[in-house]
Structure 1
Amino acid sequence: MGAVLSACNRQLLHARRSGDQRRLEELKAQQQKCVEDQVRLRDAAPEEIARIAAVYNELLNELEASEPQAEG
């Protein structure tokens, strides 16, 4: 989840700089959901932990794939 939050933070910065309000709101919502899921993990059963880990692994892949490339 830490990697997802880091990816969200990088994309939030880019969305703010580019003025993409729609993307900014999406990322803020995802960030909030991640924080809420972290709290739920404290009491989660092993099966739920595995499910959440799989969801966040996929989300991280999606975030990294959509991350803006640095201009050279």
Structure 2
Amino acid sequence: MIATAQEFGQRVARARKALGITQRDLALAINTGERFIVDLEAGKPTAQLGKALAAAKAVGIRLEDISSVELNRG
């Protein structure tokens, strides 16, 4: 489970690097500035959620609310 902005940023950075794309490439892919990607990967807690989610999706990170899945099983 990702519990902090820093963990989220680290996950995005790892996924981006695994894809072999630069921070600039990712920024262009989601129509934002490179500075946003730098701040996101550094764990800056004030990063905009919409852009953060777009970045995650662009590098293949799938976010799920596992608690709702658990509730549906009961």
Question: Taking structure 1 as the reference length, what is the TM-score of the superposition?
Answer: 0.41
Question: Taking structure 2 as the reference length, what is the TM-score of the superposition?
Answer: 0.41
Answer 1 or 2: which has greater helix percent: 1
